[in-house]
Amino acid sequence: MIFGSTRKTRQSLQTSRILPKTQKGVFTILSAFIFLIFSTLGLSMLFVTQIYVKISGYKKNQIILDYAAENGIKKGLHQFTIALGKTSSLFVLDNEEYEELRESAHSGGSLILEKWLGPDFPFAISDTWDRLSWTCQTTYLLEKFKQQESYFRANYNFKSFSEGRIRNTPNKKHMSLFSSLDVLSGCIPLASIPIVIGNTYEPEDGEIQIVQPDSGLLLPGILDRQDQLLPRDIITQVNSALNIKLFSIKDLTNRTLRQALGLEVEDSPVPQGVYLIQDDLGLGGVFVQGNVDELLLCIEDSAQVIAFTQEEQEWLLKFAPEDSRTVFETPQETYQFERLPRSTIIVNGSIRSLGGGVVGASGRPEKTTQEIPCLLDGIHLTVVSPDEISITSHLLHQKLTWKDKIPYLKHARSQLNLLVSGTGITDSDLHSGKIIIPEESPPDLKIQASLTASGEGLSTMGTGKTVYLTGSLHVSKFRSNGNYFKLIPDIRFLHQDDLLSDAPLTAKPVLYPVNFRIDQWAENET
């Protein structure tokens, strides 16, 4: 019997490799090391993420706190704006009110600020929105008080302090806004008020474009108070020119006037002519009896020249501030002085042509329509007439420059005031009291002056004219007759008090907050 069988396999000679004991567990250690690295990186990233989240939250809170604190400042500033919108920036006072304001300002009180900003001043504001809250408190400090003869000037500094908070957090943010206010009160110089027009003004009378300066000057606008503000009494200018002290223009009799002019004292009227006042106190101003056909202002080297023409006769006044020399030429003779006259000219009549001129080849002043400076730098000239003044050419100051029809006068130190009162000097009769821009004047007439006409106001004749007035305008009536009138307020008086020294004053005491400006915005954390 045959049995099946299987083939015997041969035992493999290849045996398994046995690793040394020193090499066992390497992969475990390597895996653990890699795990440690990634764990460390993961934890580090988690830690960094937490820090980033906290920083982001902190930045977010700071931004929100900035908004809250800024809202407080804006609310405080808005309160100023509301107060400004509710009240006029020019208040007419009686004598008792003026004395109360003066005493309060002198002692550092807030009566002026309460009258201007309302009884709620100093302001305290608080408000909330969602999780935010803010508060703002405004405080003030009187920095400067300066008393003049008929008015005072005060400067106040304000600090609006704001605090912003986020509910349920200890964080808070502080911001401060510093601002300041200049105030004039009393019978103030009209040159400091940009514009006053009487209650007869209507839009069809002519458009006046007012260029708002960047200084923060507060424009009182077009007011209907000419009967209260515009002066009819020129006794201040008469006293200055004649070197006398009268309390009323009614006291200026023919005898008093003749004595001041150095004439024989009698009751007869003063003869027609131009008189330079002279006495033991020095030189006074100029008094002109009768109408002036032409009054020219011009500059010759370092001297100011003023030429008067009256019925083909000419008077010439030339004075040089640098040398303190004055020359006065009359039709009869020439006078020389080692002193300077007062810069006030009183004309007891009309000025039929006032303008700038040049010294011609003959050595005599000649009228010009060119844009040439005619008022020497540093001269403060006031011209007064009861009847009318007709401006026939440019009146420009030295160191005044025009660029694109915009004046730049930062470095100019001169001032020109024209006052037409409408009231007689040696009588109590009413006169025309007007300023005229005649048809023969240049089509683009440039004037740097303070114009005041208390009688019939200002009228522009002809057509196609543009009048550029750098200074101020105070008239009872305004008629442009279709011509264009552009007013650029003169803000130099904010920093140069002497520019107001010879200017005409308001007829009644006023309170005029002149200039409100933002000085600084500061922020800090606490």
Max CA distance (Å), the chain: 189
Structure confidence at residue 19 (pLDDT): 52
> Which DSSP string corresponds to 265-282?
-SSSPPPSEEEEEEETTE
- pLDDT digits over 159-213, tens only? 989 988 888 888 888 889 898 888 999 999 998 888 888 766 665 656 788 887 6
Which phi and psi (to 5°) does residue 40 adopt? -60, -45
pLDDT at 202 (0 to 100): 62
Neighbours of 64 (CB within 10 A): 19
In 301-422, which ranges are E strands? 303-310, 313-320, 325-329, 334-337, 344-348, 351-359, 365-367, 380-385, 388-391, 401-403, 406-408, 415-420
Q: What is the mean pLDDT of residues 446-475?
A: 91
User: In the prediction, which pLDDT does 1 show?
Assistant: 45
Name residues whose C-beta falls within 8 Å of residue 472's C-beta, 6 or more positions apart in sequence: 190, 191, 192, 193, 194, 195, 450, 451, 487, 489, 490
C-alpha to C-alpha distance for 196 and 220, rounded to whole angstroms: 8
Quick one: average pLDDT of 128-134? 85
Kindly tell me if the per-residue pLDDT of 112 is higher than 60: yes
Residues 317-361: tens digit of each pLDDT = 999 999 899 999 999 999 999 999 998 999 999 999 999 999 888
pLDDT of residue 319: 94
Mean pLDDT of 94-105: 91
Q: Do residues 453 and 475 touch, judged by C-beta distance below 8 A?
A: yes
Output the pLDDT for position 495.
77
Read off the pTM. 0.82
pLDDT at residue 281 tops 80: no
Which of the listed ranges 207-216, 283-292, 481-490 does the model predict with the highest average pLDDT? 283-292
Q: For position 149, what pLDDT does the model report?
A: 86
pLDDT of residue 217: 61
* Pairing of the two strands 365-367 and 380-385: unpaired
Provide the pLDDT confidence category of residue 443 given band limits of 50, 70 and 90: very high
pLDDT: which is higher, 249 or 443: 443
Length in residues, the chain: 526
Q: Are strands 208-210 and 334-337 parallel, antiparallel or unpaired?
A: unpaired
